[in-house]
Each structure stands twice: as C-alpha cells, then as structure tokens.
Amino acid sequence: MSDTDVIKGAEATMVQGEYLGRKTLIKTRPAKTYRHADLDQHIRSSRTRNEVRIIHEARIAGVRTPCIYDVDMSEFSITMEYIEGVPVKKVLDESGDPDCTICRMIGENLAILHSNGICHGDLTTSNMILTESGELCFIDFSMGCTKAETEDMGVDLRLLERAFTSAHTDLVKQLESLMDAYYANIPEPDKIRKKVEDIKNRGRYT
C-alpha cells in the first residue's frame, strides 16, 4: 500500500498516513446517503467506538492488534498503527505452513480472544498479518463484539473453517492443527464444538 493508495471497503475507507512521526493507517467511515442522516450518524459513531473498544480489549487480553493513536468522532475515523508484515492468506498460499506453526498460532490467539469474551466477527486469514518479527496480528474488528456468547464463538470458528475450505483447500492438516490448538486452550471446549456442529447443521437445512 503506497502513501496515496485509498482502500474502499463496504463501510470504510483506509489510507496510509503519519502520526507524530509514526506510519499509520487511517480508517474512516464515510456518510451513507441512502440512510437517514440521524441514523447514519448513530451507526457510524457506534461502530467506530465499538471497533476501538474491541481492539483495545483484545490487546489487553494479550493478542497483538494495531495500537490506536487517535480517534476523531467528528470524522468517524481511527488513526492506528500501520502493521508491517504479510497477510496470513498470502503466507499460507505461498508456503502452505508445512509445520503448522502459523496455524497453531491462529488457534492459540483465537482461544485467548474467546476466553476473554471477544469475537472477531469476520474471521478470515485476510484479517490476520504475520509481522516482520514473526508475531500474529489480528486486524479489522469492525464486525466484532465483546461479552461474546457461545453462539458468537461458534460463528467465528465456522467462518474460519469456511475460509480454509474455500481459500486454502489443500491445508487440511493445517486446519486440524489450528482447531486442536484452539480447543486445547479454550474453557469448555466440548460446549464450543457442539455449537459449531449446530451451526453447520443449520446451514445444511436452510
């Protein structure tokens, strides 16, 4: 991503910037003209605050996330640390993670999030970055939640499973290692397993 690149997502734009000499990513939620102005402002405000809170709580829990440098509620923007590294999707596509090191890291870190009541909400390997120092960093918590319940955790896991089966079709062993690492580090693993199966079964009959 160059200094002039603007990435436009469904609800936000992202551009590289600088804050007190540090390289940053600025995420802004622009107005949606198809929504009533008051409703639009409420949605942009609540989603911005929610994302900042989740990123902060995940970091306190021990999961690597971008540092938040500034929040501008007049623009509904978040200025955060620019993470130097490679998206995990690209790493897995290129290397396959033959010793399952990265996938075990994903499982362990996801277990930390869930153990602290945090769900990501859009859990794909595109929303994880392997940093230059070898850390795993989770990004884009815009669909996430705190005080997560078993249903939320099951949805996170099901999304991740589907990401692997669609984007990383050959990495069956790696997905198994990821799930093993997750269940080895989460309280009440059988309860989560049952919920994931429930969610899968819903998909089969709808």
Burial environment of residue 92 by CB neighbours within 10 A (0 to 12, 13 to 18, 19 or more): buried
Active site residue 140: no
User: What are the distances in angstroms from CA 139 to CA 41, 121, 190?
Assistant: 24, 11, 28
Q: Of the listed 122, 152, 156, 170, which one is catalytic?
A: 122
3-class SS at 131? strand
Q: How far apart are CA 169 and CA 125, in angstroms?
A: 13
> Using alpha carbons only, how large is the chain's radius of gyration in Å?
18
Q: Which residues are catalytic?
A: 122
